[in-house]
Structure formats: structure tokens, C-alpha cells
A = this chain, B = another copy of it.
Amino acid sequence: MSQPSIASVRETLVATPDQPFDLSKRDSGDRSLFPDKKHARVSLKKDAAAINELQDKLYAMRDRALLVVLQGMDTSGKSGVIRNVFADTSPLGMQVEAFKAPSKTELAHDYLWRIHEAVPRKGRIGVFDRSHYEDVLVVKVRGFAPDERIEQRYDQINQFEKHLTENGVTILKFMLNVGYEEQGIRLKERITEEHKRWKFNPGDLEDRKLWPDFMGAYETAIQRCSTEHAPWYIVPADSRTRRNAMIARIVRGTLEEMDLSWPDPGLKMEDYDFS
């Protein structure tokens, strides 16, 4: 069973830069790339193994980094992506940051201050579980900042991300697109299933009531900030396995394009004394 080509996954999921973007046209239940769930599972397994090998070389070269940004409504599966796409990758080469509501110290700085600090060092794969995009999503929906400040942020974010890519950090951004109905099911599971109760936060239901506003904020953010240097991919997230498999394809493809290889410092055994 062949995997869908990386190019086809990208093409299907990307929000094309400088094109109008309509989130309502993206089906959270789309299974066209992986009609068969078993194939998605096999594909994910293969890619997770390949990502591990590529990461080893990235770590050895230590001249570039990969940053994976994950955004999505509650229950869209950010933690699941981290666990499964990087299932085979050594924690030594990973740098995961889960951004919560900013602390007082963080609020005393500009909103990119804590983000910049968490950018992965060279050699590592960094994952942002939520990110600076919260500053144009929840901040916008809940009115935590004036409109004109938020309006400035899209360009600021594009500049910031361009700066990073020009300095050796490849950026991938995934919006985990879970459907309203599926979210309802998953939120209820957080009450009925013992091992999920710790995740339940009544605030998530407040966000759920603002669903159309959040979708509008996502649409704008993606439209304004999907760029050639840091594209947004919208990932159908109603099926966990397929979601993980699609993201793994793109992460693997991106690492492959980075042309990673084992550094060869040209060592000669006779130059050294091992006695």
C-alpha cells in the first residue's frame, strides 16, 4: 500500500499564500487522503520512524532547527499529534512548549517575547502547543487587546517568522480543524472517561459558545499569515489517526528537503592517541 505523496498532502491542506482563504470550505471530516484508516496507521508508523532518523542528522549537524506550530480548538488533538508524530524521536532532540495564558511577567513584555525565548535551538525540533497565534485568536475573540493592536500583529508575525526562517529555523504551521459536532463528543468524553477528566476545563465550553467568532479569527489569521516562508496547513482533525498521518507526511517531507546528512569532519585514526 503506497502512501499519498507528500506533494499531494501539502497541496490538499495548504492555505495558498496570497489567495483568499475560506475556512468553511475545509471539511473537518475529509478522508480523501487516507480513505482507509489502517493505511493511515501504517503510513504514520513509517513516517515516525523516518522522522526519527532525519532528526538524528539534524541534531548531529546543529546548524538548523524545525519549528512545528500547532493550533486548534480544544480537543482538536494537539497533544495527540506530539505523541504520535514524534513517537520514535528521542526527547533529547525535541523541545516542546505548551503556551498557556501569559503570566504577569510575560504580559509585561511584548507578546513575541516569550515565543522567541522558546524557539528551538539549532539541531532540535521544536513544537509549540498553541503559540503567538493565540494573540490574534483568543485575544481577538475576547477583546483582550484593541482591534488596531491586533491588526498590526499579522504583519509583525510574518516579519518575525521571516526572521526565523532567514536564520535557519524552518517553520510548519498546522491548524487542527476539528468539527463543532466532534468537539462536543470529545468534550463529553472528558467527563465520562476517567483518564480524560483532568483535561476538563469549564472555560472550554465558554470558548465553544464563541465557535463562529473563533472560526472567523482563525480564517483571518490563516489568510494573513500563510506565507511562502511559513505556510499554514489546515488538517482535517475529526479522525485522529488520519490527522496524525497527514501531519507526519508533511513533517517528514520538510525534513527531507532540508538535505540532512551526517557531518564528516574528516577524522583520521592515526591523528589521535586512544591508549
List residues of A whose CB falls within 8 A of some B CB: 56, 60-61, 79, 82-83, 86-92, 94, 96, 98, 127, 129, 184, 187-188, 190-192, 194-195, 197-200, 202, 205, 208, 262-265, 267-269, 272-275
Q: Which of B82, B195, B269 contacts A90 (CB 8 A)?
A: B82
Cα–Cα distance between A192 and B270 once the two chains are bound (Å)? 12
A274 partner residues in chain B, CB cutoff 8 A: 184, 187-188, 205, 208
Q: Report 23 cross-chain contacts, Cβ distance below 8 Å, ordered by A residue.
A: A60-B195, A60-B198, A61-B198, A82-B92, A83-B90, A83-B91, A86-B91, A87-B88, A92-B98, A92-B127, A94-B96, A184-B274, A187-B274, A188-B269, A191-B267, A191-B269, A191-B272, A194-B264, A197-B263, A197-B264, A197-B265, A198-B263, A205-B274
Known: A60-B198, A91-B91, A191-B267. 6 other contacts (CB 8 A): A61-B198, A91-B127, A188-B269, A194-B264, A195-B262, A197-B265
Count of identical protomers in the assembly = 2
Asked if A267 and B92 sit within 8 Å, CB to CB, the answer is no
Give the distance to chain B from A116, nearest Cβ to Cβ, in Å: 17
A56 partner residues in chain B, CB cutoff 8 A: 195
A272 partner residues in chain B, CB cutoff 8 A: 191, 202, 205
A89 partner residues in chain B, CB cutoff 8 A: 91
Cα–Cα distance between A90 and B82 once the two chains are bound (Å)? 7
A275 partner residues in chain B, CB cutoff 8 A: 184
A187 partner residues in chain B, CB cutoff 8 A: 274
